[in-house]
Amino acid sequence: MAIPQFGRPLPGRDHKPRPGAYAIVLNALRELLVVEEDGRLYLPGGGLDPGESPEQALHREFLEETGYRVVIDRCLGQANEYVADETPNTAFNKHCLFFAVTLAGGSGVPAIATNHPRWVPVPEALSTLSNAAHRWAVRRGLNLPEDGA
């Protein structure tokens, strides 16, 4: 199966590869856990550090961003997305894996990242998640139609 592609390379920008791993977790109210950074919403997770597996990166990033530990239930799929960077003439080709996860409990310490975790109803999340690949993964993970919630 072809890997979904979102966006296109931006002319005049150096597109650096950036693999990442992101999580989809719902609560009993059917709210999605997201993180807010600079007014934009994303799924918890992020880029892999050198030598890290996607699963290791997801555990580390999720704990840093939300203060929670997770259990990975299953891989939901992968997608590529071209994302602009704030640095002049740069951008990322983000190859991301998406996982369904279950919260395993708080770490006893607050999140160390500056992003703010929030629970958002699924329809609102689908209309406000900043990255198209993240919206695609939520629809896929929740068995929703590709074109809407």
Question: Domain 5-141 adopts which CATH fold?
Answer: Nucleoside Triphosphate Pyrophosphohydrolase (3.90.79)
Rounded to the nearest 5 degrees, what angle is found at the Cα of 125, between the Cα atoms of 103 and 9?
105
pLDDT for the residue 148: 45
Residues 74, 80, 86, 90, CA torsion sign:
positive
Closest among 102, 80, 135 to 28, alpha carbons compared: 102
Q: What is the pLDDT of residue 112?
A: 65
How confident is the model at residue 7, as a pLDDT?
86
Q: What is the pLDDT of residues 24-69, one digit of tens each?
A: 999 999 999 999 888 889 999 999 999 999 999 999 999 888 888 9
| 119: Cα separation from own chain's centroid | 14
> Does residue 47 contact residue 85 with C-beta atoms inside 8 Å?
no
pLDDT for residue 149: 40
What predicted TM-score, i.e. pTM, was given to this entire model? 0.87
SS3 31: strand
Both tokens of residue 1?
């199966």
Tell me the per-residue pLDDT of 65-97, one tens digit each, with 9 for 90 and over: 888 899 999 999 999 998 887 788 888 888 999
